[in-house]
Amino acid sequence: MNIGIIGAGQLGRMLALAGYPLGQRFVFVDLDPDAPGAQVGRIIPGHFDDPAALGALAEAVDIVTFDVENVPQDAAEAVAARVPFFPPPAALGAGQDRLTEKRLFAELGIPTAPHAAVDSQAGLEAAVAAVGLPAILKTRRLGYDGRGQLRLETTADLDGAFAALGGVPAILEGFVPFERELSLVGVRSRNGETAFWPLAENSHAHGILRQTRAPWDDAALQALAERHLRALLERFDYVGVLTVEFFLLDGVLLANEMAPRVHNSGHWTIEGAVTSQFENHVRAILGLPLGSTQATGHAAMVNFIGRMPPLDDVLAIEGAHYHDYGKTARPNRKLGHCTVVCATAVERDAALARLAALA
Protein backbone atom coordinates (compact mmCIF):
# COMPACT_ATOMS: atom_id res chain seq x y z
CA MET A 1 0.00 0.00 0.00
CA ASN A 2 1.13 3.57 -0.64
CA ILE A 3 1.09 5.78 2.47
CA GLY A 4 1.25 9.55 2.24
CA ILE A 5 2.90 11.59 4.98
CA ILE A 6 2.45 15.35 5.29
CA GLY A 7 5.85 16.46 6.54
CA ALA A 8 9.14 14.76 5.72
CA GLY A 9 11.04 15.37 8.95
CA GLN A 10 12.75 12.74 11.06
CA LEU A 11 9.43 11.42 12.33
CA GLY A 12 8.21 10.79 8.80
CA ARG A 13 11.52 9.16 7.96
CA MET A 14 11.23 6.82 10.94
CA LEU A 15 7.64 5.98 10.02
CA ALA A 16 8.80 4.93 6.58
CA LEU A 17 11.71 2.93 7.98
CA ALA A 18 9.24 1.06 10.19
CA GLY A 19 6.75 0.56 7.38
CA TYR A 20 9.02 -0.78 4.66
CA PRO A 21 9.49 -4.20 6.32
CA LEU A 22 5.69 -4.45 6.31
CA GLY A 23 5.66 -4.00 2.54
CA GLN A 24 4.47 -0.38 2.54
CA ARG A 25 5.67 2.50 0.33
CA PHE A 26 5.77 6.19 1.20
CA VAL A 27 5.30 9.58 -0.44
CA PHE A 28 5.79 12.90 1.39
CA VAL A 29 4.74 16.52 1.08
CA ASP A 30 7.37 19.01 2.23
CA LEU A 31 8.98 22.24 1.09
CA ASP A 32 12.50 20.96 1.74
CA PRO A 33 13.73 18.61 -1.00
CA ASP A 34 16.54 17.49 1.31
CA ALA A 35 14.33 16.75 4.34
CA PRO A 36 15.05 13.45 6.12
CA GLY A 37 12.10 11.81 4.38
CA ALA A 38 13.86 12.24 1.04
CA GLN A 39 16.19 9.42 2.10
CA VAL A 40 13.30 6.95 2.09
CA GLY A 41 10.62 8.24 -0.28
CA ARG A 42 9.56 10.71 -2.93
CA ILE A 43 8.81 14.27 -1.84
CA ILE A 44 6.04 16.29 -3.48
CA PRO A 45 7.17 19.90 -2.99
CA GLY A 46 4.74 22.21 -1.25
CA HIS A 47 3.52 23.86 1.91
CA PHE A 48 1.41 21.81 4.30
CA ASP A 49 -1.68 23.76 3.15
CA ASP A 50 -0.86 23.79 -0.58
CA PRO A 51 -4.00 22.44 -2.36
CA ALA A 52 -2.02 21.35 -5.41
CA ALA A 53 0.61 19.46 -3.41
CA LEU A 54 -1.95 17.85 -1.11
CA GLY A 55 -4.13 16.97 -4.09
CA ALA A 56 -1.17 15.30 -5.78
CA LEU A 57 -0.49 13.38 -2.57
CA ALA A 58 -4.09 12.18 -2.34
CA GLU A 59 -3.90 10.98 -5.95
CA ALA A 60 -0.65 9.10 -5.35
CA VAL A 61 -1.48 7.19 -2.15
CA ASP A 62 -4.09 5.00 -0.47
CA ILE A 63 -4.00 6.61 2.97
CA VAL A 64 -2.52 9.77 4.52
CA THR A 65 -0.99 10.58 7.91
CA PHE A 66 1.33 13.37 9.11
CA ASP A 67 4.52 13.85 11.10
CA VAL A 68 4.04 17.48 12.12
CA GLU A 69 1.28 19.29 14.01
CA ASN A 70 1.34 22.46 11.89
CA VAL A 71 -0.90 21.04 9.17
CA PRO A 72 -3.97 23.34 9.14
CA GLN A 73 -7.10 21.46 10.15
CA ASP A 74 -9.05 22.63 7.09
CA ALA A 75 -6.28 21.36 4.80
CA ALA A 76 -6.36 18.01 6.60
CA GLU A 77 -10.13 17.86 6.23
CA ALA A 78 -9.84 18.52 2.50
CA VAL A 79 -7.47 15.57 2.16
CA ALA A 80 -9.68 13.41 4.39
CA ALA A 81 -12.59 14.03 2.02
CA ARG A 82 -10.61 12.28 -0.73
CA VAL A 83 -8.64 9.54 1.01
CA PRO A 84 -8.54 7.94 4.49
CA PHE A 85 -6.69 10.32 6.83
CA PHE A 86 -5.41 9.40 10.30
CA PRO A 87 -5.18 10.59 13.05
CA PRO A 88 -8.47 12.45 12.57
CA PRO A 89 -8.33 16.14 11.64
CA ALA A 90 -10.37 17.07 14.73
CA ALA A 91 -7.63 15.69 17.00
CA LEU A 92 -5.01 17.50 14.95
CA GLY A 93 -6.91 20.76 15.39
CA ALA A 94 -7.40 20.29 19.13
CA GLY A 95 -3.67 19.87 19.64
CA GLN A 96 -2.85 23.06 17.71
CA ASP A 97 -4.41 25.51 20.16
CA ARG A 98 -3.23 25.38 23.76
CA LEU A 99 -6.43 26.90 25.12
CA THR A 100 -8.65 24.51 23.18
CA GLU A 101 -6.44 21.68 24.39
CA LYS A 102 -6.77 22.72 28.04
CA ARG A 103 -10.55 22.99 27.70
CA LEU A 104 -10.63 19.52 26.16
CA PHE A 105 -8.66 18.14 29.10
CA ALA A 106 -11.10 19.78 31.52
CA GLU A 107 -14.08 18.35 29.64
CA LEU A 108 -12.61 14.86 30.01
CA GLY A 109 -11.70 15.30 33.69
CA ILE A 110 -7.94 15.37 33.05
CA PRO A 111 -6.23 17.72 35.56
CA THR A 112 -4.03 20.56 34.28
CA ALA A 113 -2.13 23.53 35.66
CA PRO A 114 -4.25 26.63 36.35
CA HIS A 115 -4.53 28.75 33.22
CA ALA A 116 -6.31 31.69 31.60
CA ALA A 117 -6.72 33.09 28.10
CA VAL A 118 -4.72 36.20 27.22
CA ASP A 119 -5.71 38.41 24.27
CA SER A 120 -4.15 41.74 25.25
CA GLN A 121 -1.77 43.34 27.73
CA ALA A 122 -4.72 44.16 29.96
CA GLY A 123 -5.85 40.57 29.60
CA LEU A 124 -2.42 39.41 30.71
CA GLU A 125 -2.66 41.47 33.87
CA ALA A 126 -6.11 40.04 34.59
CA ALA A 127 -4.84 36.51 33.95
CA VAL A 128 -1.95 37.01 36.37
CA ALA A 129 -4.42 38.18 39.00
CA ALA A 130 -6.36 34.93 38.50
CA VAL A 131 -3.50 32.45 38.02
CA GLY A 132 -0.70 34.04 40.04
CA LEU A 133 3.06 34.13 39.56
CA PRO A 134 5.38 32.59 38.60
CA ALA A 135 3.70 31.58 35.36
CA ILE A 136 4.45 30.81 31.72
CA LEU A 137 2.98 32.96 28.95
CA LYS A 138 2.64 30.94 25.74
CA THR A 139 1.27 31.63 22.30
CA ARG A 140 -1.84 29.56 21.77
CA ARG A 141 -0.64 28.27 18.41
CA LEU A 142 2.58 27.18 16.67
CA GLY A 143 4.95 27.18 19.66
CA TYR A 144 7.07 24.06 20.25
CA ASP A 145 10.50 23.11 21.60
CA GLY A 146 10.47 26.14 23.88
CA ARG A 147 9.49 28.62 21.19
CA GLY A 148 6.67 31.10 21.70
CA GLN A 149 6.81 31.30 25.48
CA LEU A 150 8.05 33.53 28.29
CA ARG A 151 8.49 32.82 31.97
CA LEU A 152 7.08 35.54 34.21
CA GLU A 153 8.51 35.67 37.73
CA THR A 154 7.39 39.08 39.04
CA THR A 155 4.94 41.80 38.03
CA ALA A 156 7.88 43.70 36.48
CA ASP A 157 8.08 40.91 33.87
CA LEU A 158 4.61 41.76 32.62
CA ASP A 159 5.72 44.98 30.92
CA GLY A 160 5.68 44.38 27.18
CA ALA A 161 5.34 40.59 27.60
CA PHE A 162 2.25 40.29 25.41
CA ALA A 163 3.89 42.31 22.64
CA ALA A 164 7.12 40.32 23.01
CA LEU A 165 5.26 37.21 21.89
CA GLY A 166 3.94 39.02 18.85
CA GLY A 167 0.66 40.30 20.26
CA VAL A 168 -1.08 37.08 19.22
CA PRO A 169 -3.67 35.12 21.24
CA ALA A 170 -1.92 33.51 24.19
CA ILE A 171 -2.49 31.49 27.32
CA LEU A 172 -1.05 32.01 30.80
CA GLU A 173 -0.25 28.79 32.63
CA GLY A 174 0.59 28.67 36.31
CA PHE A 175 4.08 27.37 36.99
CA VAL A 176 4.02 23.78 38.29
CA PRO A 177 6.82 22.86 40.75
CA PHE A 178 6.70 19.31 39.42
CA GLU A 179 8.70 16.40 40.78
CA ARG A 180 9.32 14.98 37.32
CA GLU A 181 7.98 15.03 33.77
CA LEU A 182 6.42 11.85 32.45
CA SER A 183 4.89 10.97 29.10
CA LEU A 184 2.62 8.20 27.95
CA VAL A 185 2.52 7.03 24.35
CA GLY A 186 -0.56 5.11 23.29
CA VAL A 187 -1.99 3.79 20.03
CA ARG A 188 -5.46 2.94 18.76
CA SER A 189 -6.19 1.01 15.59
CA ARG A 190 -8.98 1.44 13.06
CA ASN A 191 -10.73 -1.53 14.65
CA GLY A 192 -10.61 0.03 18.14
CA GLU A 193 -7.73 -2.08 19.47
CA THR A 194 -5.73 -0.01 21.96
CA ALA A 195 -2.28 -0.39 23.50
CA PHE A 196 0.03 1.67 25.70
CA TRP A 197 3.78 1.68 26.18
CA PRO A 198 5.20 2.05 29.70
CA LEU A 199 5.46 5.55 31.10
CA ALA A 200 8.71 7.35 30.34
CA GLU A 201 10.54 10.02 32.33
CA ASN A 202 11.71 13.07 30.38
CA SER A 203 14.27 15.79 30.98
CA HIS A 204 14.02 19.10 29.12
CA ALA A 205 16.35 22.08 28.81
CA HIS A 206 15.20 25.39 27.33
CA GLY A 207 11.94 23.73 26.32
CA ILE A 208 13.63 21.00 24.25
CA LEU A 209 13.56 17.32 25.18
CA ARG A 210 17.08 16.18 26.05
CA GLN A 211 16.73 12.73 27.63
CA THR A 212 14.14 10.01 28.14
CA ARG A 213 14.32 7.00 30.44
CA ALA A 214 11.90 4.09 30.32
CA PRO A 215 10.11 2.29 31.71
CA TRP A 216 9.00 4.40 34.67
CA ASP A 217 7.59 1.62 36.81
CA ASP A 218 4.63 2.78 38.86
CA ALA A 219 1.51 0.69 38.40
CA ALA A 220 -0.85 3.29 39.89
CA LEU A 221 0.50 6.13 37.75
CA GLN A 222 0.53 3.91 34.67
CA ALA A 223 -3.14 3.08 35.18
CA LEU A 224 -4.02 6.73 35.77
CA ALA A 225 -2.15 7.91 32.68
CA GLU A 226 -3.75 5.19 30.57
CA ARG A 227 -7.20 6.26 31.79
CA HIS A 228 -6.54 9.85 30.74
CA LEU A 229 -5.13 8.87 27.37
CA ARG A 230 -7.92 6.39 26.70
CA ALA A 231 -10.47 9.17 27.26
CA LEU A 232 -8.78 11.21 24.53
CA LEU A 233 -8.59 8.26 22.15
CA GLU A 234 -12.28 7.54 22.58
CA ARG A 235 -13.27 11.21 22.38
CA PHE A 236 -11.94 11.47 18.82
CA ASP A 237 -12.49 7.86 17.67
CA TYR A 238 -8.75 8.18 17.30
CA VAL A 239 -6.54 6.14 14.97
CA GLY A 240 -2.75 6.16 15.29
CA VAL A 241 -0.26 7.11 17.98
CA LEU A 242 -1.15 9.77 20.57
CA THR A 243 1.16 11.09 23.28
CA VAL A 244 0.39 13.10 26.41
CA GLU A 245 3.08 14.81 28.46
CA PHE A 246 2.37 15.06 32.19
CA PHE A 247 3.79 16.84 35.20
CA LEU A 248 3.89 14.68 38.33
CA LEU A 249 3.10 16.62 41.49
CA ASP A 250 2.13 15.03 44.83
CA GLY A 251 0.96 11.84 43.16
CA VAL A 252 -1.24 13.70 40.66
CA LEU A 253 -0.63 13.74 36.91
CA LEU A 254 -1.23 17.18 35.41
CA ALA A 255 -1.54 17.10 31.63
CA ASN A 256 0.81 19.56 29.97
CA GLU A 257 0.08 18.92 26.32
CA MET A 258 -0.87 16.24 23.83
CA ALA A 259 0.76 15.39 20.53
CA PRO A 260 -1.49 13.69 17.94
CA ARG A 261 1.41 11.90 16.25
CA VAL A 262 4.49 9.82 16.95
CA HIS A 263 6.57 11.65 19.53
CA ASN A 264 10.19 12.34 20.48
CA SER A 265 9.68 10.83 23.94
CA GLY A 266 8.73 7.55 22.26
CA HIS A 267 11.95 7.15 20.27
CA TRP A 268 13.21 4.71 22.90
CA THR A 269 10.60 2.22 21.65
CA ILE A 270 12.53 1.58 18.42
CA GLU A 271 15.04 -0.61 20.24
CA GLY A 272 13.52 -0.67 23.72
CA ALA A 273 10.10 -2.20 23.06
CA VAL A 274 8.86 -5.27 21.22
CA THR A 275 7.07 -2.99 18.74
CA SER A 276 8.06 0.63 18.19
CA GLN A 277 5.66 3.57 18.18
CA PHE A 278 6.43 3.99 14.48
CA GLU A 279 5.55 0.44 13.47
CA ASN A 280 2.40 0.46 15.56
CA HIS A 281 1.32 3.79 14.04
CA VAL A 282 1.60 2.21 10.59
CA ARG A 283 -0.23 -0.90 11.79
CA ALA A 284 -2.96 1.22 13.38
CA ILE A 285 -3.75 3.39 10.35
CA LEU A 286 -3.85 0.29 8.13
CA GLY A 287 -6.12 -1.60 10.53
CA LEU A 288 -3.53 -4.30 11.15
CA PRO A 289 -3.20 -6.07 14.53
CA LEU A 290 -1.12 -4.02 16.94
CA GLY A 291 2.23 -5.34 18.15
CA SER A 292 3.26 -5.79 21.77
CA THR A 293 4.27 -2.57 23.55
CA GLN A 294 6.22 -4.39 26.27
CA ALA A 295 9.64 -2.98 27.13
CA THR A 296 12.53 -5.29 26.27
CA GLY A 297 14.83 -3.92 28.98
CA HIS A 298 15.76 -0.61 30.57
CA ALA A 299 16.06 2.03 27.85
CA ALA A 300 17.26 5.60 27.57
CA MET A 301 17.36 8.12 24.75
CA VAL A 302 19.51 11.21 24.27
CA ASN A 303 18.73 13.84 21.64
CA PHE A 304 21.66 15.22 19.69
CA ILE A 305 20.99 18.92 19.34
CA GLY A 306 23.10 21.32 17.33
CA ARG A 307 25.83 18.78 16.52
CA MET A 308 26.29 15.05 16.06
CA PRO A 309 28.92 13.34 18.24
CA PRO A 310 31.49 11.07 16.58
CA LEU A 311 29.93 7.78 15.52
CA ASP A 312 32.75 5.65 16.91
CA ASP A 313 32.53 7.30 20.34
CA VAL A 314 28.83 6.55 20.59
CA LEU A 315 29.06 2.99 19.33
CA ALA A 316 31.79 2.27 21.85
CA ILE A 317 29.04 2.38 24.49
CA GLU A 318 27.54 -1.06 25.05
CA GLY A 319 23.93 -1.24 23.91
CA ALA A 320 24.02 2.07 21.99
CA HIS A 321 21.96 2.63 18.83
CA TYR A 322 22.86 5.67 16.72
CA HIS A 323 20.29 7.55 14.64
CA ASP A 324 21.50 10.32 12.30
CA TYR A 325 18.65 12.17 10.58
CA GLY A 326 20.88 13.58 7.84
CA LYS A 327 20.10 17.21 8.67
CA THR A 328 22.33 20.23 8.24
CA ALA A 329 23.68 21.28 11.64
CA ARG A 330 22.53 24.51 13.23
CA PRO A 331 22.04 25.65 16.86
CA ASN A 332 19.13 24.07 18.76
CA ARG A 333 18.22 21.79 15.85
CA LYS A 334 17.48 18.11 16.54
CA LEU A 335 19.99 16.31 14.34
CA GLY A 336 19.69 12.78 15.67
CA HIS A 337 19.37 10.66 18.76
CA CYS A 338 20.84 7.63 20.43
CA THR A 339 19.20 4.96 22.52
CA VAL A 340 20.69 2.43 24.88
CA VAL A 341 18.96 -0.69 26.12
CA CYS A 342 20.39 -2.52 29.11
CA ALA A 343 19.45 -5.40 31.37
CA THR A 344 19.26 -3.24 34.50
CA ALA A 345 18.41 0.35 35.36
CA VAL A 346 21.86 0.82 36.91
CA GLU A 347 23.59 -0.21 33.68
CA ARG A 348 21.20 1.94 31.67
CA ASP A 349 21.88 5.03 33.77
CA ALA A 350 25.64 4.52 33.52
CA ALA A 351 25.40 4.29 29.74
CA LEU A 352 23.13 7.33 29.69
CA ALA A 353 25.72 9.36 31.60
CA ARG A 354 28.36 8.45 29.02
CA LEU A 355 26.00 9.38 26.19
CA ALA A 356 25.06 12.68 27.80
CA ALA A 357 28.72 13.61 28.01
CA LEU A 358 28.98 13.21 24.23
CA ALA A 359 25.74 15.04 23.37
pLDDT digits (tens, 9 = 90+) for 229-242: 999 999 999 999 99
- For 51-92, the pLDDT digits (tens) are 999 999 999 999 999 999 899 999 999 999 999 999 999 999
Percent of the chain with pLDDT over 90: 91
Q: Where do runs of H (alpha helix) occur along the chain? A: 10-19, 51-60, 73-80, 89-94, 98-107, 121-131, 161-164, 219-235, 269-272, 277-286, 311-315, 345-358
Residue 355 pLDDT class (50, 70, 90 cuts): very high
- For 280-333, the pLDDT digits (tens) are 999 999 999 999 999 999 999 999 999 999 999 999 999 999 999 999 999 989
Distance CA 7, CA 36 (A): 10
The whole-model pTM stands at: 0.95
Domains and CATH numbers, the chain: 2-85 (3.40.50.20), 114-174 (3.30.1490.20), 180-358 (3.30.470.20)
Q: Which residues pair with 321 in a beta bridge?
A: 339
Q: Which of 106-110, 149-153, 155-159 has the largest mean confidence?
A: 106-110
pLDDT at res. 146: 55
337 in Cβ contact with 302 (< 8 Å): yes
State yes or no: pLDDT of 141 exceeds 90. no
pLDDT at res. 83: 98
